[in-house]
């Protein structure tokens, strides 16, 4: 039974190193090649539904792999008989179905929490993002805020905390007044709606455009942050997998050695 059940995925698609298109949602064991483990379930031996390359698919959920060291490693398997196209060799699956499978892969946060291993923190210690602490430390309101680069606007102070920005540009002859509170890094956090004083030449379209631009800017900012966090979690996840591989490789070696010794012992006693 050579093969490897990949964590969070057991596909052979090298283009997807994280194993997105798989039926196994949460596999808490890595079976190394050449390891002669006994696979048992609570009801008896697991009946492999399919061995597809180095992928093992079993039909009984919550089956366990029992090693000679008595370690039980839980498999959570969601292969439904006859329902999963991963059981088919045909490549006629539609893009939609492919996406369905791909999207079923749980997030790194969930995978890691399922592993019971490294806890995924929202802001890692190695996070070099100023924006992380920026967003978290400022307790931003739920509505949008606009970050305006400092130095481009004229400002007048109206007392503590509250200031008035006067934006003078070609389209706003009368200027645009923005109320804001100044952040620590010279950035201006504009809460909620921008207070705009306008003359008659400014139509609602411009306000709409500004609002859309503001929303887009905010969306990009959040997505930038999300992408950064996602990459951090991905790296952590891969590191976790590599650690598990190393540990299990050692276990595998030890078991092979033990088996070898026992075989020799058995042969000796048989000769005598």
Partner DNA sequence: ATTGTCGTGCGTCATCAACC
Partner DNA sequence: GGTTGATGACGCACGACAAT
Site residues (vs DNA, CB under 7 A): 15-16, 18, 20, 96, 99-100, 102-105, 107-110, 128-129, 219-224, 226-231, 233-235
Give me 238's structure tokens. Answer: 């891969």
Helix and strand totals (H; E) in the chain: 4, 12
Minimum distance from CB of 96 to DNA (Å)?
Answer: 6
Q: Is 220 left (phi over 0), alpha (psi -120 to 50) or beta?
A: alpha
From CA 187, how far away is CA 183, in angstroms rounded?
5
Measured from the CB atom, the residue of 127 and 177 that comes closer to DNA is 127
Measured from the CB atom, the residue of 96 and 270 that comes closer to DNA is 96
**Count of other CB atoms within 10 angstroms of residue 212:** 10
Minimum distance from CB of 233 to DNA (Å)?
Answer: 5
On the CB side of 30, how many CA atoms lie within 13 Å of its CA? 19
**Count of other CB atoms within 10 angstroms of residue 251:** 17
Measured from the CB atom, the residue of 91 and 160 that comes closer to DNA is 91
Minimum distance from CB of 234 to DNA (Å)?
Answer: 6
Measured from the CB atom, the residue of 120 and 178 that comes closer to DNA is 120
Minimum distance from CB of 100 to DNA (Å)?
Answer: 5
């Amino acid at each position: 039974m050579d093969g490897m059940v990949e964590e969070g995925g057991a596909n052979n698609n090298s283009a997807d190193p994280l194993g997105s298109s798989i039926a196994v949602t949460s596999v808490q064991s890595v079976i190394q090649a050449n390891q002669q483990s006994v696979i048992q379930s609570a009801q008896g031996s697991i009946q492999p539904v399919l061995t597809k390359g180095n992928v093992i698919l079993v039909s009984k959920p919550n089956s366990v792999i029992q090693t000679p060291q008595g370690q039980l490693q839980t498999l959570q398997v969601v292969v439904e008989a006859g329902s999963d196209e991963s059981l088919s060799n045909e490549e006629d699956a539609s893009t939609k179905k492919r996406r369905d499978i791909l999207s079923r892969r749980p997030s790194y946060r969930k995978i890691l929490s399922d592993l019971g291993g490294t806890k995924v923190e929202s802001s890692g210690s190695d996070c070099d993002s100023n924006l992380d602490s920026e967003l978290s430390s400022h307790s931003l309101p739920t509505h949008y805020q606009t970050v305006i680069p400092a130095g481009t606007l004229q400002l007048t102070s109206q007392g503590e905390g509250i200031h008035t920005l006067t934006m003078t540009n070609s389209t706003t002859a009368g200027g645009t007044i923005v109320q804001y509170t100044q952040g620590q890094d010279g950035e201006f956090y504009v809460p909620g709606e921008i207070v705009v004083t306008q003359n008659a030449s400014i139509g609602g379209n411009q306000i709409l455009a500004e609002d859309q631009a503001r929303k887009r800017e905010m969306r990009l900012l959040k997505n930038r942050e999300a992408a950064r966090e996602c990459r951090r979690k991905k790296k952590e996840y891969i590191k976790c997998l590599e650690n598990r591989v190393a540990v299990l490789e050692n276990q595998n070696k030890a078991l092979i050695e033990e088996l070898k010794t026992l075989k020799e012992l058995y042969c000796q006693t048989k000769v005598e």
